[in-house]
Chain A
Amino acid sequence: MTDTPIDHIRNFSIIAHIDHGKSTLADRLIQATGALTDREMTNQVLDNMELERERGITIKAQTVRLAYRARNGEMYELNLMDTPGHVDFAYEVSRSLAACEGSLLVVDASQGVEAQTLANVYHAIEAGHEIVPVLNKIDLPAAEPERVKQQIEDVIGLDTSDAVEISAKTGLNIEGVLEALVHRLPPPQGDADAPLKALLVDSWYDQYLGVVILVRVKDGRLRRGQKIRMMSTGAVHVVEQVGVFSPKMIATDDLSPGEIGYITAAIKTVADCNVGDTITDDRTPAAEALPGFKPSVPVVWCGLYPVDADDFEKLRESLGKLRLNDASFHYEPETSAALGFGFRCGFLGLLHLEIIQERLSREFALELIATAPSVVYRLYRTNGETQELHNPADMPDGSVIDHIEEPWIRATILVPDDYLGAVLTLCNERRGEQADLTYVGNRAMAVYRLPLNEVVFDFYDRLKSVSRGYASFDYQMDGYTESDLVRISILVNGDPVDALSFIAHRSAAESRGRAICARLKDLIPRQLFKIAIQAAIGGRVVARETIGALSKDVTAKCYGGDISRKRKLLEKQKEGKKRMRQFGKVDIPQSAFLAALKMDG
Chain B
Amino acid sequence: MEPLALYTHWPFCLAKCPYCDFNSHVRERIDQARFARTLRAELAWEAARLGRRRLNSIFFGGGTPSLMEPGTVAALIEDARRLFDPVPDIEITLEANPTSVEVSRLAALRHAGVNRVSLGVQSLDPAALAMLGRQHSAAQALAALEAARALFPRISFDLIYARPGQAAAAWRAELRQALGLVADHLSLYQLTIEPGTVFEGLHRRGEIALPDPDLAAALYEATGEEAVRFGLLGYEVSNYARPGAESRHNLAYWRYGDYAGIGPGAHGRITVNSALLATRRHRAPEPWAERVERVGHGSTHEAPVPPADRAREMLLMGMRLSEGIDEARFAARTGVVLDEALDPDVLRQAIGEGYVTRGDGRLTVTQAGRLRLDPLIAALVV
Contacts and interface: CB of A to CB of B under 8 A. Distances in A.
Interface residues of B, number: 49
A529 B267 contact: no
Interface in A534-588: 549-561, 563-564, 566-567, 570-571, 573-574, 577, 585
B374 interface: yes
Contact of A556 (B7, B189, B346): B189
Contacts of A570: 312, 316, 377-378, 381
Contacts of B191: 556
Contact of B220 (A552, A563, A566): A552
Contact of A553 (B353, B372, B381): B372
A529 B352 CA distance: 10
A556 B253 contact: no
B213 A558 contact: no
B189 A564 contact: no
Contacts of A563: 253, 267, 269, 313, 316-317
B214 A574 contact: no
Contact of B353 (A529, A558, A561, A564): A529
B7 A560 contact: yes
A322 interface: no
Interface string B199-221: 00000000000000110110010
A590 interface: no
B250 interface: yes
B267 A550 contact: no
B99 interface: no
A38 B374 CA distance: 68
Given A552-B371, A554-B370, A554-B374, A560 B269 contact: yes
Interface string A78-121: 00000000000000000000000000000000000000000000
A556 B268 CA distance: 21
Interface string B266-292: 111100000000101000000000000
A561 B191 CA distance: 19
A553 B213 contact: yes
Contacts of A557: 189, 192, 238
B201 to A, nearest CB: 20
Contact of B316 (A549, A561, A566): A566
A567 B308 CA distance: 11
Given A554-B373, A560-B253, A567 B312 contact: yes
A528 interface: yes
B190 interface: yes
Contact of B349 (A529, A551, A571): A529
B189 A549 contact: no
A33 interface: no
A547 B268 CA distance: 41
Interface in B172-205: 189-192
Given A560-B259, A560-B268, A561-B265, A555 B217 contact: no
B376 interface: yes
Interface in B280-319: 280, 309, 312-313, 316-317
A567 B309 CA distance: 8
A565 to B, nearest CB: 9
Contacts of B214: 551-552
B165 interface: no
Nearest to B219: A552
B261 interface: yes
A150 interface: no
Given A529-B353, A551-B213, A556 B267 contact: no
Interface in B74-128: none
Contact of A549 (B252, B253, B353): B353
A552 B371 CA distance: 5
Interface in B51-85: none
B192 A561 contact: no
Most interface-central of A560, A573, A574 (chain B CB within 10 A): A560
Given A557-B192, A563-B267, A567-B309, A550 B375 contact: yes
Given A564-B278, A570-B381, A559 B250 contact: yes
B381 A551 contact: no
B372 A559 contact: no
CB-based closest 10 A-B pairs: A552-B217, A554-B373, A551-B217, A528-B375, A561-B267, A556-B189, A560-B253, A551-B213, A552-B216, A552-B213
Interface of A: 526-529, 549-561, 563-564, 566-567, 570-571, 573-574, 577, 585
